[in-house]
Amino acid sequence: MFRRRRRGDEASTPDHGPEPVEDSGAAPETVGKSDRSSGPYDAAEVDLDDARRGRIDLGGLLIKPVAGMKMQLQVDKRSGNATSVVLTVDEAAVQLVAVAAPRSSGLWEQTRLQIAEDAKRRGGRHEEAPGPFGTEMRIVVPVQSPEGKQVLQPSRVSGIDGPRWMLRATFLGKATTDASVFQQLAALVRQVVVVRGSGPMPPGDVIILKPPPDSQTGAGDGEPLQA
């Protein structure tokens, strides 16, 4: 009931976020200027046992399902590790990938430059605009359709800097053209809890994901999980 998709393959209103745990009194780490006032959350900001109840546990990410949601893990062919997850609701989707970041600063500003360079290299266009999590990138690049035709694919990319991590959310499909659909998926992203772990990680390294404990897995086998 759960499908792991290899990289390169064709690609109800949530409730309030988990209750923050009490402040320990420690000075907060300096992070970027992303708006996380109502999520997504760091594992240290919530009661993890409570957060896991009603969420899909992917190891590095806890996902709050919504009605009709389908989910696919994407696997890096070289390492065999699951590096991102795609959440699809009807004709809209959001791809989530979390990476380690420096303790004293965020990665989103640097990542925006990389996204802009990649869009230009691919013959596309880009612009920065305000979004629900801060500055977002709006991209249009040429891609090949399943029928072999070249078409333009729009996307909206948000980068959310957290404590020692960055969550990158790429909105696709109807989420790029319908404001209400976009807001539905943005609300879903706000429900995410990032579980980075306490070990050292070079900035930019992907926080590895794994299938839920009760899922049946196999590269390319089975159907996407439906909520």
For 158-185, the pLDDT digits (tens) are 999 999 999 999 999 999 999 999 999 9
**Cα separation, 43 vs 197, whole angstroms:** 9
Answering whether pTM is above 0.85, one says no
pLDDT bracket for residue 215 (50, 70, 90) = low
pLDDT bracket for residue 33 (50, 70, 90) = low
Query: Which burial class, exposed, middle or buried, applies to 140 when counting CB atoms under 10 A from its CB (0-12, 13-18, 19+)?
Result: middle
H or E element in which residue 87 lies: strand 82-89
Q: Is pLDDT of 23 > 50?
A: no
